[in-house]
Structure 1
Amino acid sequence: MKAFRGLLLPVAALLAGCQTVLMSPSGDLAVQQRNLIITSTVLMLLIIVPVIALTLLFAWHFRASNKKATYDPDWDHSTILELLIWSAPLLIIIALGAITWVSTHKLDPYRPLDRIAAGRPVPTEARPLTVNVVALDWKWLFIYPEQGIATVNELAAPVDRPISFNITASTVMNSFFIPALAGQIYAMPGMQTTLQAVINRPGEFEGFSANYSGRGFSGMHFTFHGMSEDGFAQWVQKAKASGGDLSRDAYVKLAEPSENEPPRYYATVAPGLYQAILTHCLQPDSPSCMSRMHTKNGGEATGMAGMSMPPTTPH
């Protein structure tokens, strides 16, 4: 018993650092994904729990010491038992298949939101907040085209306002993940992925890369602020008042590998910077510029810019 207790203590200490953000998210898309996980688990347990219970019951009932158990070595068939064994799992598989089919389309991260929360459709006058996301080595760059600002390792959005993320990477594959908001979406150079989401509660939420990308991967964390509309407007003004200028030259310097970068702000952003990052056209005469390759091939697209990747589910 002492040895068992000694084993439990370190296990409990390790579990003390665990968080249940996936089971108590703050964004409607993540809530629907959480509900899908719970529903799928319950459906599978409808088979698993009875099978485990009956296995233990049979082992106990037909133990060698139970002389009352019927010994029937020639038994080999039961129509009722066959129906139970095959029909119950088949019904569960059909239910899981139907749920998967519907949720795959309903929770597609590329699909515009039709609600901001359960029973609350998106207002007809609501305009999504557009955020262009660039995964750098090893930090996150967020460009707000409508507000004309950019930030590093800090993200903010108003509560109950749809957010449209356009996501790419500068060099290697990463994964954009805010567990409280929605599932993780891959970021790859020369390609653009999309995430439509909404945050329903004010607060500070952790975001990070969920795909290993090299030495500084462990420091690719950022804070996502859920704010009121007034709070978001003040945050934008703060960025404009305290930030520098994100020119193309400044971006080239920013994109150099660095680790554990603190949040920083840019009051202005060079026109067309995100598209230049996406197409590798920071220098128009660069041989890797996809627009240049497009022109050289007589209008036949050869690059990957603008291509989308399949959506991914939460880990």
Structure 2
Amino acid sequence: MWNNGILAPQGPVAAAEAKILFDATVIMLAVIIPVILATIGFAWWFRDSNTKARYLANWTYSGHIELVVWSVPALVVMSLGGITWIGTHDLDPYKPLQSSEKPLNVQVVSLDWKWLFVYPDEGIATTSTLVVPASRPIHFSITSATVMNSFFIPQLGSQIYAMTGMVTQLNLKADQPGDYRGLSAQFSGSGFSDMVFVVKSMRAAEFQNWVDNTRKNNSVLDQTAYGSLSKPGTAPAGQTFGKIQQGLFDSIVRLTSGRNQAKNDGAPQPGTMEMQ
């Protein structure tokens, strides 16, 4: 919908991406509009009833027409290439956002078919609900414990892939408090359509209060809990863990990396996960 998609940005990254999309559309209209008008003009002028129209059967070349035909598309390509080049470097997902506040670190794991969000500095975790403070940069470390997925929050920007045995980085920020839609943009099996999550952006005090209340939860995300959570199926949105086992995210990355290597080598795949 218009009010919750990429055309309704709620963060600096999404706003910059929307501007690139708008600028690219305006540049391409420099070709599209004249072509449409010329098509209508030619059809009208060379209609059968127009006796003033001349058919030049022996006409073969016009330097002026060739100049227009080649120069306009060349200028369009150069303009599109310029804004793409600049935007690509400015919006590098690995590039930290400029801010006086310390970024919030969030570790993201894609599962079949749910999302696990780990807050290593706060020592808590959630499933299918991402709670963040407004106006504070968020640094995501993203991996997959299963097939490749794509992590995407349209109103905050920058879709990026989650891959087994690898960690991709993403930096985003929500300008205002509110609820935003997140999803997997990569087909990953029968439960793909349910692989959505809610991003709850809160004021700093509200976020800290949520962290404090979550820490009071006696649920612990350890090897046993993760093993149950990683089984195929959906998880209730907003499930929280008041404690996390140290090194969980790194262990998930090592486990999936080991499985990938075992597949490549033809060796038996490991069945347990070592935790720090």
Determine whether 1:256 maps to 2:231: yes
Q: In the comparison of the two structures, how many residue pairs are matched?
A: 261
CA distance 1:172–1:289, change in 2 (3 Å): closer
Spell out the pairing of 1:1-315 with structure 2 (5 A cutoff): 21-114=5-98, 122-123=99-100, 126-259=101-234, 261-280=236-255, 288=259
Q: CA deviation at 1:187?
A: 0.6
Which residue identity is paired with 1:224? V
Shift of 1:128: 0.7
| Alpha-carbon offset, residue 85 of structure 1 | 1.3
Measured on the aligned residues, the alpha-carbon RMSD in Å equals 1.8
In the aligned structure 2, how far is the partner of 1:259 from the partner of 1:128? 29
Structure 1 residue 47: Cα displacement = 0.3
Looking at structure 2, the residues matched to 263 and 216 of structure 1 have their Cα atoms a distance apart, in angstroms, of: 18
Which range moves more in the overlay, 269-278 or 207-216?
Answer: 207-216
Could you list the structure 1 runs, at least 4 aligned residues long, displaced by more than 6 angstroms after superposition: none
Q: Deviations over 1:65-95 (max 9, x none)?
A: 1012233222222222221111111111111
Instruction: Decide whether the 8 Å contact of 1:136 with 1:257 is kept in 2.
Output: yes
Give the distance between the partners of 1:241 and 1:110, measured in 2 at CA: 33
For residues 218 and 225 of structure 2, the distance between their equivalents in structure 1, rounded to whole angstroms, comes to 12
Alpha-carbon deviations, 1:175-205, whole Å to 9, x = none? 1111111121111111111101111011001
Shift of 1:218: 1.1
CA distance in 1, matches of 2:239, 2:210: 12
Partner of 1:302: none
Q: What is the alpha-carbon distance in structure 2 between the residues aligned to residue 245 and residue 69 of structure 1? A: 83
CA distance in 1 between partners of 2:55 and 2:153 (Å)? 58
- Higher relative CO (Cα under 8 Å, sequence separation at least 6) belongs to 2
Deviates more, 1:168-177 or 1:67-76: 67-76
Aligned mates of 2:55, 2:172 — CA distance in 1: 61
In structure 2, relative to structure 1, the CA distance for the partners of 1:256 and 1:85 (3 Å cut) is same
* C-alpha distance after superposition, 1:145-165 (max 9, x if no partner): 111100011111111111100
Letter of the aligned partner of 1:219 in structure 2? D
Mapped to 1, the partners of 2:117 and 2:189 lie a distance apart of 21
CA contact (8 A) 1:203 1:226 kept: yes
Tell me the amino acid that sits aligned with residue 66 of structure 2.
E
- What amino acid is aligned across from residue 76 of structure 1 in structure 2? T
Select between 237-246 and 226-235 the one with higher mean Cα deviation.
237-246
Equivalent pair of 2:4/2:181 in contact (CA under 8 Å): no
Deviation at 1:289, TM superposition (A): 9.4
Structure 1, unaligned runs of 5 or more: 1-16, 115-121, 291-315
Contact 2:149 2:184 in 1 (8 A): yes
1:103-128 per-position Cα deviation (integer Å, ceiling 9, x unaligned): 111111011113xxxxxxx22xx211
Looking at structure 2, the residues matched to 205 and 211 of structure 1 have their Cα atoms a distance apart, in angstroms, of 19
Residues 133 and 143, structure 1, Cα contact 8 Å, conserved in 2: yes
Q: Is the 8 A contact 1:243 1:264 kept in 2?
A: no
Q: Which residue of 2 aligns with 1:12?
A: none
